[in-house]
Chain A
Amino acid sequence: MTFLILSQLLNGFALGMIYALVGVGLTLILGILNIPNFAHGALYAIGAYLTYTVARLTGSFYIAILIAPLGTVLIGLVLEHQGIRRLYSAHHDYQLLFLFAMALILQELIVIIWGPVGFSVMPPKALMGATNLGFVIYPTYRLALIVFTLIIIVTLTVFLTFTNLGAILRAGIEDREMASVLGINIDKMFLLTFGLGAWLAGLAGALATPILGLTPTMGLDILPISFVIVVVAGLGSVPGAIVAGILIGIAQGLTTIWWPQAANVVIYILMGLTIIARPQGLFGTR
């Protein structure tokens, strides 16, 4: 039993890292652009499918997780530049609907290009099998996933905390108008943010492929979860999104032991408890 709990704890942690990546991406876009990115899940799905294709073409999973997220960045930049840019002055209704429409379009494109049937993807050879950690024997790919996403998250945090560009982005989250008064090029900042958000979504999709497999609706499934992460974290909080993502992953992992069907509901129970105790979210100030 202890073994089961420990391994589910780690499973949940690995899943939570993927959630954290998706959640941080959505949080950046919500916090800086003030836009509910309903296409975030679709970008995640595109990231996963591109990974599958690039891995098949090149024979290397590593190259795939490098290239695939760049594909989603490209889509993200086009979305921002051709669509959302016209809607910044419009009401949330229209931004939301536009992105919802984009999500539908991307999802249908996935079915048209890759077909309606899902795939499963093998992790690269070096990461197959299991590793003995002493207290638990654990799939190597998931360990690598945890380590890799930790590196990404630490890098991102360092970037946001210590670099000039990061400071500009944080200023955008805090007070967009003030940032623009201080002479920051808002247009470029928005483009950059959306690109970064799309990259995180695509990367999360890429890394998830060996664990969760591929289905055309995978974007629709992750989208509500990423919004729950934002609610639990508190709107616009990057550290909050990381913590909330991991928490939700672990809660899901542990629920699977006792009541597998409820694994999806526990996310929302967690959300309910959070908004009862702290309506502004764990790290929210507003």
Chain B
Amino acid sequence: MTTDRILLVLLLVFVVAAPFLFPMVTAAEMLVFALVAVATNIMVGYTGMLSFGQAMFFGSGAYASGLMLKAGLPLIVALPGAALVVMVLSMAVGFFCVRRTGLYFICLTFAFNQMFYFIAYIWTGVTGGEDGLPGIPRPEFIATPMAFYVFTAVVLLASLLVIWRILHAPLGLVFRLIRENPSRTAAVGYDVRRFRWYAFVISSTFTGLAGGVYAMLYGIVPIDQIHWLRSGDFIFMLLFGGSGNFFGPVIGAVAYIFLSDTLAVIWARWLLVLGIIFAITVLFFRGGIVGLVETVAAKLTGRRAGEAEATR
């Protein structure tokens, strides 16, 4: 509980400070991916379903909002519209995926993601195919980088509030129950598959919303954003920050963007370094950054307690 409060304060401080620490566009990108990571955590960390298909919803949201904005629709229609499109898509995909669990679920989401990628790839008339979807206009009131950053921050914080409420409502409790013990949850009388489906759709919808904001960030949707490698990045952001905590994924996303941006400037083969960092995280810091900080803090306070005892 106290950790959450500290992290919340840290998050607010970061949102205010980020535009001064990083280029404005990078700061906005961090917030967009922070939302994706938190949304992914609804499924992965809270419900215990590892999805390898978040990029299909992120990309679909980006394409949907990009197309609507290009068609001249106002933001107030385009962004919720994109979220709605993704919601419907995820309801269909989720229907098939939640029928299986564990490894099979991973395989299914992964394969569906690749299916979406190839649809985007060959549907050049709509998605621009390999070249991506360019020329997405940004509404006037968020035309400047600063205004866009503020807008992104508002979307992030509002979404986090909603997700927090969902996860701390009875619904979120059922999600956690499913993660801990699906068969017991079923025995209590919950339709486990249905609740898994809810988690899938909620998680995907917020991911799609983030995609919708992303489309305006650079004014283009590159096709990489719907590729399954992106899903891998999202999972990494989440676990890098710590999936056991509500705010952990935010830290993971920010650290990931910072790390990849920095490395990419230094060496063209930066993915090699990133891979090594992935591996070290997985082998030695399974709690992610939040887990690491908690362990260190516990050790420090533990040592302090020990010292106090010794002096007495």
Say which size band chain A's interface belongs to.
35 or more
Q: Which of B91-112 contact A (CB under 8 A)?
A: 96, 99-100, 102-104, 106-108, 110-112
Whether B104 pairs with A235 at a CB distance below 8 angstroms is: yes
Nearest to B240 among chain A residues (CB) is A97
Q: Is the CB of A104 within 8 A of B239?
A: no
Cβ-defined contact, B271 with A271, below 8 A: no
Is A124 at the interface (CB under 8 A from chain B)?
no
The reply to whether the CB of B286 lies closer than 8 angstroms to some CB of chain A is: yes
| Contact pick for B115, options A91, A220, A271, CB 8 Å | A271
Which of A102, A107, A231 contacts B111 (CB under 8 A)? A231
Determine if B286 and A111 form an interchain contact, defined as CB atoms under 8 angstroms apart.
no
CA distance A172 to B86 in the complex (A): 40
B90: Cβ under 8 A from any A Cβ? no
Supposing A36-B106, A109-B272, A275-B96 touch, asked if A97 and B118 sit within 8 A by C-beta, the answer is: no
Asked if A101 and B118 make an inter-chain contact with CB atoms under 8 angstroms apart, the answer reads: no
> Which residues of A lie under 8 Å from residue B282 when comparing CB positions?
87, 94, 97-98, 101
A112 touches B272 (CB 8 A): yes
Chain-B contact segment, one of A5-13, A178-186, A189-197, A257-265: A257-265
- Given the interface pairs A36-B107, A94-B286, A275-B108, the reply to whether A101 lies near B278 with Cβ below 8 Å is yes
The residue on B at minimum CB distance from A26 is B107
Q: Using an 8 Å CB-CB cutoff, how does the interface string of A267-286 with B read, 1 for contact, 0 for none?
A: 01001100110010000001
Stretch at the interface among B64-72, B201-209, B228-236: B228-236
A177 to B271, CA, bound (A): 38
Q: Tell me whether B114 and A268 are in contact (CB under 8 A).
A: yes
The answer for the CA separation of A118 and B272 in the assembled complex, in Å, is: 19
Q: Is the CB of B278 within 8 A of A265?
A: no
B276 touches A (CB below 8 Å): yes
Are A83 and B279 in contact, CB atoms less than 8 angstroms apart? yes
In this assembly, does A80 line the interface, its C-beta being within 8 Å of a C-beta of chain B?
no
Our pick among B99, B107, B236, B276 for the contact of A235 (Cβ within 8 Å) is B107
Closest chain-B Cβ to A230's Cβ sits at a distance in Å of 5
Q: Contact at B269–A92, with CB atoms within 8 Å?
A: no
A84 to chain B, nearest CB (A): 10
Q: Choose one: A93, A104, A107, A220; the contact of B235 (CB below 8 Å).
A: A93
Q: Residue B308 at the A interface, CB < 8 A? A: no
Q: How many residues of B contact A (CB 8 A)?
A: 41
Complex contact A100–B232 (CB within 8 A): yes
B60 to chain A, nearest CB (A): 15
Q: How far is the CA of A209 from the CA of B286 in the complex (A)?
A: 38
Q: Enumerate chain A residues within 8 angstroms of B236, measured Cβ to Cβ.
A: 97, 100
In the complex, whether B44 has a CB less than 8 A from a CB of chain A is yes
Across the two chains, which residue of chain B brings its CB closest to A106?
B275
Contact present for B122 and A224 (CB under 8 Å)? no
Which residue among B106, B122, B282 has the maximum number of chain A CB atoms within 10 Å of its CB? B282
Contact of A231 with B108 at beta-carbon distance under 8 Å, contacts A90-B286, A94-B286 already known: yes
Within 8 A of A (CB), among B269-293: 269, 271-272, 274-276, 278-279, 281-283, 286
A60 close to chain B: CB less than 8 A: no
Chain A residues whose C-beta falls within 8 Å of the C-beta of B279 in the assembled complex:
83, 98, 101-102, 105
The answer to whether A264 touches B118, judged by C-beta atoms less than 8 angstroms apart, is yes
Assuming the A-B contacts A224-B114, A227-B107, A268-B118, are A86 and B100 also in contact, with contact meaning beta carbons closer than 8 angstroms in the complex?
no
- Whether B114 contacts A96 by the Cβ 8 Å rule is no
| A45 neighbours in B (Cβ, 8 Å) | none
B116-134 contacts to A, CB under 8 A, are: 118-119, 121-122
Q: Any chain A CB within 8 A of the CB of B243?
A: yes
Contact A96/B235 with A231-B107, A279-B100 known, Cβ cut-off 8 Å = yes
Q: Let me know if A224 and B228 touch, CB within 8 A.
A: yes
A-side contacts of B220, CB under 8 Å: none
- Residue of A with least CB distance to B48: A91
In Å, the complex CA distance between A220 and B278 comes to: 18
In the bound complex, do residue A98 and residue B119 qualify as a contact, i.e. CB atoms below 8 Å apart?
no
Q: How far is the CA of A36 from the CA of B232 in the complex (A)?
A: 13
- Which residue of chain A has its CB nearest to the CB of B96? A275
Contacts of A220 in B (CB 8 A): 229
- Let me know if A228 is at the binding interface, CB within 8 A: yes
Given contacts A87-B283, A105-B272, 18 further A-B contacts (CB under 8 A): A83-B283, A87-B282, A94-B239, A94-B286, A97-B236, A98-B283, A100-B232, A100-B278, A101-B276, A101-B278, A108-B271, A108-B272, A220-B229, A224-B228, A227-B111, A228-B114, A264-B122, A268-B112
24 contacting pairs across A/B (C-beta < 8 A): A36-B107, A83-B283, A87-B282, A92-B50, A92-B106, A96-B235, A101-B276, A102-B279, A105-B272, A105-B275, A108-B272, A108-B275, A109-B272, A112-B269, A220-B229, A224-B113, A227-B107, A235-B107, A268-B112, A268-B115, A268-B118, A276-B96, A279-B100, A286-B104
